[in-house]
Amino acid sequence: MNTNNTFSERLRELRQQSKLLQKDLAKMLGYTQAYISAWERGLKEPDIKSILQLCKILQTSADYLLGNTDFE
């Protein structure tokens, strides 16, 4: 399993489940919408601080978000 693809897919799914637009998530994290889009397309990867912030916002674990487990 490609962890980067898993991260991208799970980020998009969790963001949509949370009813957040890319621009909403970007604003919460201090990034641009284009940056979030790049994460969701697998073109860029977030740093550890951003991953931790994503987990809080999306109410999930880093292991799930990164594809290390199938359980949130």
pTM exceeds 0.85, yes or no: yes
Q: What is the mean pLDDT of residues 52-60?
A: 98
Write out pLDDT tens, residues 17-55. Answer: 999 999 999 999 999 999 999 999 999 999 999 999 999
pLDDT for res 71: 79
Place of tokens 């740093």: 47
Q: d(Cα 2, Cα 17) in Å, to the nearest integer?
A: 22
Write the DSSP symbol of residue 41: T
pLDDT for res 33: 98
For the record, the structure tokens of 50 come out as: 């951003």
- 59 in the Ramachandran plot: left (φ > 0), alpha (ψ -120 to 50) or beta? left
At 3, the pLDDT band (50, 70, 90 cuts) reads low
pLDDT for res 1: 41
Which one, of 33, 35, 34, lies nearest residue 24 by Cα?
33
